[in-house]
């Protein structure tokens, strides 16, 4: 990278750093989009942050994949970030595996992460239960790599949902331990929990969060679903035995659909209730399907365009990795020096 480009990266460091990672494990759901990605775009476009967005492809290796399928999912995940509004001209967009410092710092932080801390992580318990025949060391130690992802960039804020705060907390614990031994090395990241992030529930079981790992395809809407698929899924969505489109206690199904309609259209709950006053669940389900299909359609079309131009995706990820490495290497050199390793001389 040229000296001018490096100077530009240094100038950008005056802003607070926001970092977000997403795993390439299936298509992004409507819940991921409305609950996370729309907020990521808002943070990026605010101009208040120096934003990094990455595909956590190394984390994906904790479960088995067909190599060709994983590569496709990585490309599709990158295409989805761009299609949803992440702009490589405004943000640093890259693949985790293309910045070697992640794996290097991950190993060092393994040595400063306690067994008890790792054993308490809920994701390890959940994934172990689902993959009983493949409870590997990576599945157990992934929080140290996740901490490296965050700490490598001296991150200030990590946009997460309320249920993901644990990942930021353990990164803070590891950073505090390391700083306590060697002096200030890592910035302490804060979870950035936005109030506007919609919590979208399963269409088949509205007591559970919509998840891309759900084996029931009718439970989730993805950003690659066609218009017809989206409308059919909404028509099959679980509701209660009533018929009035109104929020209420014990009405998880209709509450979820109202939340979705509200999040997509920008209308308040009261406005939605007034709009469908006197109409039944059938009309409302169809309306939900149509507004969601309208919202998803341009994203799906852009994803397809990007997937048909993988050279462009390769270019974006290469430039992003080069930019990310400037930040990452600076931190890694500091860590090497602190722990007593010989720092490699860079050209």
In tens, the pLDDT along 172-187 reads 999 999 999 999 999 9
Q: Which segment of 3-7, 63-67, 225-229, 268-272 scores lowest on mean pLDDT?
A: 3-7
Q: Please confirm, yes or no, whether 184 is among the known catalytic residues.
A: no
Q: Which segment of 33-37, 41-45, 283-287 scores lowest on mean pLDDT?
A: 33-37
Lookup: tokens for 211: 């998840």
pLDDT, average across residues 245-252 = 90
Is the pLDDT at 234 greater than 80, yes or no? yes
Query: Is the domain of 162 the same as that of 295?
Result: no
Query: Is the domain of 296 the same as that of 240?
Result: yes
- Give residue 216's pLDDT band: very low, low, confident or very high (50, 70, 90): very high
SS3 248: coil
Q: Which of 12, 90, 212, 338 is catalytic?
A: 212
Lookup: tokens for 64: 């088995």
Query: Is the domain of 134 the same as that of 82?
Result: yes
Query: Is the domain of 241 the same as that of 284?
Result: yes
Give the pLDDT confidence score for residue 195 in this predicted structure. 60
Alpha-carbon separation of residue 64 from 115, 134, 290, 316 (angstroms)? 24, 8, 36, 27
Q: Please confirm, yes or no, whether 195 is among the known catalytic residues.
A: no
Cα–chain-centroid distance for residue 308?
A: 23
Query: Is the domain of 143 the same as that of 226?
Result: no
Is the pLDDT at 125 greater than 50, yes or no? yes
Name the residue range of residue 286's domain.
217-304
Give the pLDDT confidence score for residue 134 in this predicted structure. 76
Query: Of 13-22, 23-32, 100-109, where does the model show the most confidence?
Result: 100-109
Task: Indicate whether 203 belongs to any domain.
Answer: no
Q: Which of 127, 233, 251, 285 is catalytic?
A: 127
Task: Indicate whether 345 belongs to any domain.
Answer: no
Query: Is the domain of 120 the same as that of 267?
Result: no
Q: How does pLDDT run across 281-311, given as a tens digit for each residue?
A: 999 999 999 999 999 999 999 999 999 999 9
Count how many domains the chain has. 2
Q: Which of 12, 209, 334, 338 is catalytic?
A: 209
Separation between Cα atoms, residue 186 and residue 109, nearest integer Å:
12
Query: Is the domain of 129 the same as that of 31?
Result: yes
Query: Is the domain of 188 the same as that of 233?
Result: no
Query: Is the domain of 155 the same as that of 10?
Result: yes
CATH of the domain at 113: 3.40.50.620
- Give residue 90's pLDDT band: very low, low, confident or very high (50, 70, 90): very high
CATH of the domain at 260: 1.10.240.10
Phi, psi angle pair for 16, to nearest 5°: -65, 145
Task: Indicate whether 204 belongs to any domain.
Answer: no
Query: Is the domain of 112 the same as that of 225?
Result: no
Could you tell me the pTM of the whole model? 0.88
Cα–chain-centroid distance for residue 183?
A: 31
- Let me know: does 198 contact 259? Beta carbons within 8 Å: yes
Query: Is the domain of 295 the same as that of 324?
Result: no
3-state helix, strand, coil in the chain (%, to 5): 60, 10, 35
Query: Is the domain of 90 the same as that of 139?
Result: yes
Q: Please confirm, yes or no, whether 15 is among the known catalytic residues.
A: no
Task: Indicate whether 47 belongs to any domain.
Answer: yes
């Amino acid at each position: 990278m040229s000296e001018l480009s490096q100077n530009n990266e240094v100038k950008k460091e005056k802003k607070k750093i926001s970092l977000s990672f997403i795993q390439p494990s299936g298509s992004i759901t409507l819940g991921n989009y409305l609950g996370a990605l729309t907020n990521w775009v808002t943070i990026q476009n605010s101009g208040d942050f120096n934003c990094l967005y990455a595909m956590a492809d190394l984390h994906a290796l904790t479960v088995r994949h067909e190599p060709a399928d994983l590569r496709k999912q990585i490309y599709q995940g990158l295409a989805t970030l761009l299609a949803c509004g992440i702009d490589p001209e405004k943000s640093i967009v890259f693949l985790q595996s293309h910045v070697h410092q992640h794996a290097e710092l991950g190993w060092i932080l393994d040595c400063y992460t306690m067994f008890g801390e790792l054993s308490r992580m809920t994701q390890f318990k959940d994934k172990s239960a689902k993959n009983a025949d493949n409870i590997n060391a990576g599945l157990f130690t992934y929080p140290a790599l996740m901490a490296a992802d965050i700490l490598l960039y001296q991150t200030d804020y990590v946009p997460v949902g309320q249920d993901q705060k644990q990942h930021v907390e353990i990164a803070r614990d590891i950073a505090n331990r390391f700083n306590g031994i060697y002096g200030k090395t890592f910035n302490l990241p804060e979870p950035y929990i936005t109030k506007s992030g919609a919590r979208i529930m399963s269409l088949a079981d509205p007591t559970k969060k919509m998840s891309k790992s759900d084996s029931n395809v009718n439970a989730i809407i993805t950003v690659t679903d066609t218009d017809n698929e989206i409308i059919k899924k909404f028509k099959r969505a679980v509701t209660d035995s009533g018929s009035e489109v109104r929020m209420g206690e014990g009405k998880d199904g209709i509450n979820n659909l109202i939340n979705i309609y509200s999040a997509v259209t920008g209308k308040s709950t009261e406005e939605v209730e007034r709009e469908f006053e006197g109409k039944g669940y059938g009309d409302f389900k169809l309306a939900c399907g149509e507004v969601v299909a309208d919202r998803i359609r341009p994203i799906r079309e852009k994803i397809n365009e990007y997937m048909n131009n993988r050279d462009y995706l390769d270019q974006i990820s290469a430039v992003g990795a080069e930019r990310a490495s400037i930040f990452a290497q600076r931190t890694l050199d500091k860590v090497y020096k602190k722990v007593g390793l010989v720092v490699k001389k860079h050209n």
